[in-house]
Amino acid sequence: MIIKKITKKEDLAINGASPAFSGPMHVGRPNIGNREVFKKYVDEIFDRGWLTNDGTLVSEFEQRVAEYHRVKHCVAMCNGTIALEIAIRALELEGEVIIPSYTFIATAHALHWQAITPVFADIDPSTHTLDPESVRKMITPRTTGIIGVHLWGHIAPVDELQAIADQHGLKLMFDAAHAFGCSYEGTMVGSFGECEVLSFHATKFFNTFEGGAVLTNDNELAGAMRLMRNFGFSGRDNVIHPGTNGKMIEVVAAMGLVNLEYIDNVLEANRQNCQ
């Protein structure tokens, strides 16, 4: 690899200079895990003939992710955006919901898609997470909730946001797409607010190809989300709740189980890289 020193804008390749690197430099690549173990899981899926609809591997994946984060429930979904939408609907949010001005667009889209107005509050420039004082200023009679976002491994100000939510009778949830395995003062992500939403997209250090989940300690909320991700079915033929198709499939859960075996090594490598 050839590296050159860049001291002025004319040294940038975009301005006509020669490239700084001899080949493409990727910010990150997907963590693949043990391919042989993954193939073994896939063979088992085919042998069972059960590809989706709350299969064996999805159930195991949910249990292990919940145990890892020390929460009661992990409700696996097809992706993080659908997980956000189902969590928002299960919490019965409406009107206006306050979110940070700096977040991935899915946080806002999940609200707008359900005719809820996202209200953008300022962020703390040192952490890029919600500024509690800005949140206070954004509350109106139409506000029903707050969605905090954990970024770059920085946990949002959970204590301050919970105090604001309690004071004003608001629902509080978190977009934890960047926070798998993170903790705050000894408490793992998943226990803050009403619920927290994970993303397992291929760009995340813990990925399942595509996927997402909602973590919560609320039994009733978890039950509602399980209904909503599967068209509202209770049992084989009884539909008792409006729903959609947000289910995780077996092969996706297989990828998650493979990567879960190495997650602590990946987290440690990330910490070392940050230092």
Instruction: State pLDDT tens for residues 66-118.
Output: 999 999 999 999 999 999 999 999 999 999 999 999 999 999 999 999 999 99
Task: Give the Cα separation of 3 and 11 in Å (integer).
Answer: 12
**Could you tell me if 198 and 215 are in contact, meaning their C-beta atoms sit under 8 angstroms apart?**
yes
Identify the bridge partners of residue 187 per DSSP, sorted by sequence position.
184
pLDDT in tens, 161-208: 999 999 999 999 999 999 999 999 999 999 999 999 999 999 998 999
Neighbours of 216 (CB within 10 A): 25
Amino acid at 135: V
Task: Give the Cα separation of 30 and 105 in Å (integer).
Answer: 21
pLDDT at 4: 60
Share of the chain above pLDDT 70, in %: 97
User: What angle do the packed helices 35-48 and 250-260 form, to 10 degrees?
Assistant: 150
pLDDT at 1 over 60: no
**Could you tell me if 165 and 143 are in contact, meaning their C-beta atoms sit under 8 angstroms apart?**
no
**Could you tell me if 97 and 144 are in contact, meaning their C-beta atoms sit under 8 angstroms apart?**
yes
C-alpha to C-alpha distances, 92 to 85, 138, 149, nearest whole angstrom: 11, 20, 19
Class of domain 34-274: alpha beta
